Amino acid sequence: MTITPLMPVYPRSPVRPVRGEGVYLFGEKGEKYLDFASGIAVNLLGHGHPVLTKAIQEQAATLIHVSNLYGSPQGEALAKRLVDMTFADTVFFTNSGAEAVEASIKTARRYHHHHGRPEKHTLITFSNAFHGRTMATISATDQAKLRDGFAPLLPGFAVVEFDNLEAARKAVTEHTAGFLVEPIQGEGGIRPASQEFMRGLRELCDEHDLMLVLDEVQCGLARTGKFFAYEHYGIEPDILASAKGIGGGFPLGACLATEKAAAGMVVGTHGSTYGGNPLAMAAGEAVLDVVANDEFLEHVRLMGDRLRGALEQMIPNHDHLFESVRGIGLMLGIRMKTDSRAFVGYLREHGILTVAAGDNVLRVLPPLVIEESHVTEFVERLSEAARRYELPQQAA
């Protein structure tokens, strides 16, 4: 037998973390890493944050899980906080991002079904999108690497070019249920949609009574310096999928919706055994306790400006490697002139964790609790690594 006990679907790196402390991770032999990947935009509070740790410890000792057969004071409390802070009137809790997107897709379809228009079932989605790895969420993207070998995929998705409002407008038919879009593409390479595009989609939805469904699994929850990224665009969605940062590392996702959009989601239409369990709710509350206030969001914006500024200053010194910086807040990407995946591997060997993304982008996704000293350390070490890095093709 050659297959490994862990199903070999990931190209796992030699980094084997066993402990975390703030912005640092430690490997099995005590190796220290500066973590500017945050478990792929998840660990907003870094590692071992006392507020999150205490909340989980106390809740674990009190009540972990009971199912959704019973009333949920914990779920009601967290849902109320999310409703108070956002466009939404109601929340469905999930355990992951893909499940939050699934719930969002179902809510959008069910809206039209509820109003006697079951033929309006198709969501218009966008090139290079990433919405997760379930059958519906891989059907919602045009990325071959996510879809290959899993046919037949689900019908009901039409993919058009990202950030192209005209293409989106032309794709609307009598079967359209709405749009599903990441305001800032994450896996696709830290690509923020333009103001015109996002506002245009909102107008199209208003005009044709369509659902604007935002996938803010990666860009949401304080990462861009706003609570959710839609706030940068001066619009509000009908439905929004959140996950990643919302649990600070504890598996938690949420589908947020307006009362209008959730019209079809009545008793019996959806469910989850674990979704909204008391332990996950405690983690979600702890994350909000830290991030859901103006001072914290201001800190994210300030650190984002510092980091971006420092990166922009560094780039001309290594212009054989780096092209430009893009993104918002602490969701940043450096477009590279060489294979970003190989360079991310090189940084890893030198104790710096980042994440590769599509379009040759190196993603910089630090915990939101970083301080100036971490920004300085990161940029100095990145610059030093760039100076030493030999392009793979030159090495031959």
Calpha distance 229→362 (Å, rounded): 20
Least distance between ligand PLP and beta carbon 253 (Å): 6
Neighbours of 107 (CB within 10 A): 28
Least distance between ligand PLP and beta carbon 217 (Å): 4
Phi, psi of 284 (to 5 degrees): -60, -40
E strands within 195-321?
Answer: 211-215, 239-242, 253-257
344 assigned binding-site residue: no
Calpha distance 68→270 (Å, rounded): 11
18 assigned binding-site residue: no
Closest CA to 332 of 306, 350, 297: 306
Least distance between ligand PLP and beta carbon 94 (Å): 9
Least distance between ligand PLP and beta carbon 6 (Å): 17
161 assigned binding-site residue: no
Residue placing its CB nearer to ligand PLP in the complex, 291 or 385: 291
- DSSP readout, 127-151? TT----SSHHHHHT---HHHHTT-P
Residue placing its CB nearer to ligand PLP in the complex, 201 or 310: 201
Q: How far is CA 208 from CA 29, 146, 186, 205, in A?
A: 59, 31, 28, 5
Residue placing its CB nearer to ligand PLP in the complex, 224 or 321: 224
Calpha distance 146→277 (Å, rounded): 30
Angle at 247 between CA 244 and CA 249, to 5 degrees: 75
Q: Residues interacting with ligand PLP, by CB under 6 A?
A: 96-98, 101, 130-132, 182, 186-187, 215, 217-218, 243-244
Residue placing its CB nearer to ligand PLP in the complex, 190 or 386: 190
224 assigned binding-site residue: no
Phi, psi of 153 (to 5 degrees): -85, 175
Residue placing its CB nearer to ligand PLP in the complex, 186 or 304: 186
294 assigned binding-site residue: no
Residue placing its CB nearer to ligand PLP in the complex, 205 or 252: 252
272 assigned binding-site residue: yes
| Residue whose CB is nearest to ligand PLP in the complex, by number | 97
Least distance between ligand PLP and beta carbon 374 (Å): 23
Least distance between ligand PLP and beta carbon 11 (Å): 16
What are the binding residues for pyridoxal 5'-phosphate?
A: 97-98, 130, 215-218, 273
